Amino acid sequence: MKTLDPSVQRERWLRRTLCRRYAAVVFSTFSAPPLKGQQAENRAICWAFGSLIRGECEILGAWNLNGETATMPAVFGDLSDRGVEFVRCGLGDLRGAEAAFLATFRMSALYPSIEQDLASALSSVKPRHRAAMSSEMRSMLGEPSGVPATVLQPGISSEGLRQKYPGILERWSGSVAAFRQLFALPEPYRQLVRSVDRTAIGMQQRLMKAISRHGPFVDSVEAFDFVVDGLLRADLQLRREAEAKQLAREALVLQSGRYAPVSGGAYGAPVLA
Query: For 190-214, how does the pLDDT look when each residue is reduced to its tens digit (9 = 90+)?
Result: 999 999 999 999 999 999 999 999 9
Q: Report how far residue 62's alpha carbon sits from residue 196's, in angstroms, rounded to the nearest whole number.
A: 17
Residue 269 pLDDT class (50, 70, 90 cuts): low
pLDDT given for residue 231 in this prediction? 97
pLDDT given for residue 243 in this prediction? 85
Say how many C-beta atoms besides its own lie within 10 A of residue 135's C-beta. 21
Return all residues near 61 (Cβ < 8 A) that are at least 6 apart.
13, 14, 47, 48, 78, 79, 82
Q: Is the pLDDT of residue 91 over 70?
A: yes
Q: Are strands 57-65 and 86-87 parallel, antiparallel or unpaired?
A: unpaired
Closest CA to 111 of 175, 18, 199: 175
pLDDT given for residue 264 in this prediction? 45
List, in sequence order, every beta strand (DSSP E) within the chain: 21-22, 24-31, 44-51, 57-65, 86-87, 90-91, 110-111
Backbone angles phi, psi at 134, to 5 degrees: -60, -45
Q: Which amino acid is at 37?
A: G
Per-residue pLDDT reduced to its tens digit, 17-60: 999 999 999 999 999 888 888 666 678 999 999 999 989 999 99
Q: Report how far residue 228's alpha carbon sits from residue 232's, in angstroms, rounded to the nearest whole number.
A: 6
